[in-house]
């Protein structure tokens, strides 16, 4: 469960985002990285339009180049007006069912700042999205989702399969490969969590090093959430997806927004 929406006042949300921003900056400094190389994504699953507006406004007042991420197509569509009003990029970070792909792409393509589908974990999904995008005369930004922990509750290809899927996406004229996404291992052992994030970075680096057409934009690493963002930043995250630390506690879930 999330906090009572009425309790998400601008001062409270601002303080929480300041705390998250400080954590990112400290983790980046410890890793010898520029804090500005890590973008904050607000994971807005089950949040009202009002809560989204408060959080985005607060982040921008703090000078942050913020994104939002939605797990469900129906929420992406329902909140599209507020995303448009705010001019904020909204990515789909949850599983995409084939019968909802059309609605997702229509919403994303009509946005002033088109988002990316971060949850491409099969060749079939890539093919469907590429065909729909091409039919609309558009190019859709996507990330390959990789299951770095091997946990059966998590979606995505294995690290060994990610290279092939990335090349498949890069070769599709309707798609633009912009990076890779993962959900960290559910473990209290930081070394285990970090090793998974390091595996994703290795996949990204190997794809970029190949230099194949269509892979040159695959720079983003969307990884790390409220509980493990320090480990993700240490291993090269360019986007961290934060829900709980901004909007309040909810039950742990493998869906990508804990």
Domain harbouring 97, CATH code: 3.20.20.10
**Residue 6: what pLDDT?**
55
Number of domains in the chain: 1
76 is a domain residue: yes
87 is a domain residue: yes
212 is a domain residue: yes
255 is a domain residue: no
Q: Are 141 and 178 in contact (CB under 8 A)?
A: yes
**Residue 145: what pLDDT?**
98
Strands (E), the chain: 39-43, 67-70, 90-92, 116-120, 140-145, 175-181, 220-222, 239-242
258 is a domain residue: no
Q: Which residue numbers in the chain have pLDDT < 50?
A: 1-3, 5, 251-258
**Residue 202: what pLDDT?**
97
Q: What's the Cα-to-Cα distance from 252 to each of 2, 22, 220, 226, 230, rounded to whole Å?
A: 11, 23, 25, 11, 18
Domain that holds residue 104: 5-247
253 is a domain residue: no
256 is a domain residue: no
252 is a domain residue: no
Taking only the tens place, the pLDDT of each residue in 153-172 is: 999 999 999 999 999 999 99
The torsion angles phi and psi of 195, rounded to 5 degrees, stand at -65, -35
Q: What is the DSSP string of 137-198?
A: T--EEEEEEB-SS--TTS-SB-HHHHHHHHHHHHT-TTEEEEEEE----S-S-HHHHHHHHH
């Amino acid at each position: 469960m999330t906090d009572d929406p009425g309790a998400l006042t601008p001062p409270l949300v601002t303080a929480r985002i300041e705390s998250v921003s400080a954590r990112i900056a400290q983790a980046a400094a410890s890793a010898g990285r520029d804090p500005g190389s890590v973008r904050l994504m607000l994971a807005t699953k089950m949040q009202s339009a009002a809560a989204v507006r408060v959080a985005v406004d607060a982040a921008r007042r703090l000078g942050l180049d913020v994104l939002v991420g939605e797990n469900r197509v129906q929420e992406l569509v329902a909140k599209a007006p507020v995303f448009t009003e705010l001019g904020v990029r909204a990515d789909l970070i949850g599983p995409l069912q084939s019968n909802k792909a059309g609605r997702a792409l229509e919403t994303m393509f009509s946005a002033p700042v088109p988002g990316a589908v971060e949850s491409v974990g099969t060749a079939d999904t890539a093919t469907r999205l590429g065909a729909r995008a091409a039919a609309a005369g558009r190019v859709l930004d996507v990330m390959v989702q990789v299951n770095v922990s091997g946990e059966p509750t998590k979606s995505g290809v294995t690290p060994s399969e990610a290279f092939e899927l990335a090349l498949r996406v890069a070769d599709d004229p309707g798609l633009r490969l912009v990076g890779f996404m993962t959900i960290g291992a559910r473990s209290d052992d930081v070394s285990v969590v970090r090793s998974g994030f390091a595996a994703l970075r290795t996949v990204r680096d190997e794809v970029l090093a190949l230099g194949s057409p269509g892979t040159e934009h695959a720079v983003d690493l969307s990884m790390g959430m409220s509980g493990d963002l320090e480990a993700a930043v240490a291993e090269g995250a360019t986007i961290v997806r934060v829900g709980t630390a901004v909007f309040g506690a909810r039950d742990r879930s493998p869906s990508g927004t804990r």
